Amino acid sequence: MVFVKIFKFILSLFFTNFIYCCYKHNNEEDKNNNILLDKPKNKNEDIKNEDSKNKITSKNSRFMWNNNNCSIKSSLLNLMILFDNYNQLFEKLNDDNIITCIKARKEFKRILNEVINIRNKYKNNEELIRMEDFYKRCHDYKYNFYKSITNDDLINLEQLNKIIDENDDILRDMIPINYSIDSKDFNNKIEYENEIKMFIEFRDEDLNTSDYKDYRTDYTAGFTLSKILYMLVKLTNVLKIENYHVFGDNIYTFDDYKFKIVSYNNGNDELVSDNMKNVEINDNLISLTMGLSYGDIGHSVLIFKDIDNKYYFDCCNKVIQIDYQDIQNKNFQKIVDQWIKVGNINYKFESIKEALYKI
């Protein structure tokens, strides 16, 4: 059953519902929804001069925003920023010997190869990098996990239930390949046999339908950088973590290097002000993952320090340069408002999701 644990762990890392659900706005089609900012009607020359002085310029984002992929996009961008600061970590991913589970080697290697492929595009300064192949690798891993569970594995249904549910308090599936076992009465032989029968039906019939078998890119995505890194902790010998916390400080180490991710509980609206108050802004800050809102729609974005030592705000498909003092003063809505001038979607700052630091 060890290989089943490994399969479950990887797929649960990649497939999860989080509190944010991104929606793609088409500016040309949404004019009637008041997405575009109102422009000053006053043609006074002083207003023109002021607008010119405060003009915000943008460039294309490195990754393509599409439908619900905002948190995946932000997390992969964050991973690239981490590699910019710790290239030694990226170099280790090219070694097949880092994978500690033989059973997981084939599928996990495909995921690593896609990360390497994305990194090469990033280093070549490609813009609007698409991530469909990354989605497919993740989908295939999860799909193959359920297909890999044999009838012999079902002999110990309680153990299987534990494997399937062991990460539910951390991660939740985000695409419709999910199965839960009702463990209310494993001592009842009839219930036990029914559970086995239902799982076999799920594995052999449901998984063969297009809803499960075909991968999609329009599902609600719930990625974070820490989830990607935790996968590396569990399945490779490259990265270690000190006392993993779902919310709080996590110190990652490899060789003689260290970095820290602070994860904030964004599931409670009352904690938004605490996130603002508690997030530490210093010279070691690499990035901030933030949650925005547009009405009742959530959205994930990234503030980061690039290799030119300047700070940027990446949202949807546009990125702008921002003032470090605004980050220091936690003027996050001001930063969002600056982006709105080029992005034309009236987002509101909600909370800090993760903060990445050098140590």
Q: How many residues does the chain have?
A: 359
Of 291, 5, 8, nearest to 173 by C-alpha is 8
Percent of the chain exceeding pLDDT 70 equals 71
Instruction: Tell me whether residue 126 is exposed, middle or buried, using C-beta atoms within 10 angstroms of its C-beta: 0 to 12, 13 to 18, 19 or more.
Output: middle
Residue-level pLDDT at 165: 57
Beta bridge partners of 291: 300, 351
Mean per-residue pLDDT over the chain, rounded: 78
pLDDT of residue 252: 95
Amino acid 34: pLDDT: 36
Least confident of 6-20, 156-170, 177-191, 243-257: 6-20
- The phi and psi torsions of 355 (rounded to 5 degrees) equal -130, 130
**What is the rounded distance in angstroms from the CA atom of residue 99 to the CA atom of residue 112?**
10
pLDDT, position 130: 93
- Which of residues 44 and 256 earns the better pLDDT score? 256
Question: What integer pLDDT is reported at residue 124 of this predicted model?
Answer: 96
- Please indicate whether residue 246 or residue 310 has the higher confidence score (pLDDT): 310
Structure tokens at 357: 């630091």
Q: Read off the pLDDT of residues 125-177 as tens digits, 9 standing for 90 and up.
A: 999 999 888 888 877 877 777 788 888 877 777 777 666 554 443 334 444 46
Residue 225 contacts residue 289 (beta carbons within 8 Å): yes
Poorest-confidence range of 9-13, 71-75, 152-156?
9-13
Distance CA(90)–CA(305), nearest Å, equals 18
Q: What value does the mean pLDDT take over residues 241-267?
A: 84
pLDDT for the residue numbered 152: 83
Instruction: List beta partners, residue 313.
Output: 303, 320
Maximum alpha-carbon separation in the chain: 83
Phi and psi (nearest 5°) for 299? -155, 140
pLDDT for residue 21: 45
Residue-wise pLDDT for 285-314, tens only, equals 999 999 999 998 899 999 999 999 999 999
Residue 122, pLDDT above cutoff 80: yes
Write down the pLDDT at residue 218: 63
The b-or-e profile of 132-144 (16+ CB within 10 A means b, else e) is eebbebbbebbbe
- How much is the average pLDDT of 311-327? 97
**Tens digit of each residue's pLDDT (9 = 90 or more) over 33-57:** 333 333 344 444 443 444 555 678 9
> Among 27-36, 71-80, 169-178, where is mean pLDDT lowest?
27-36
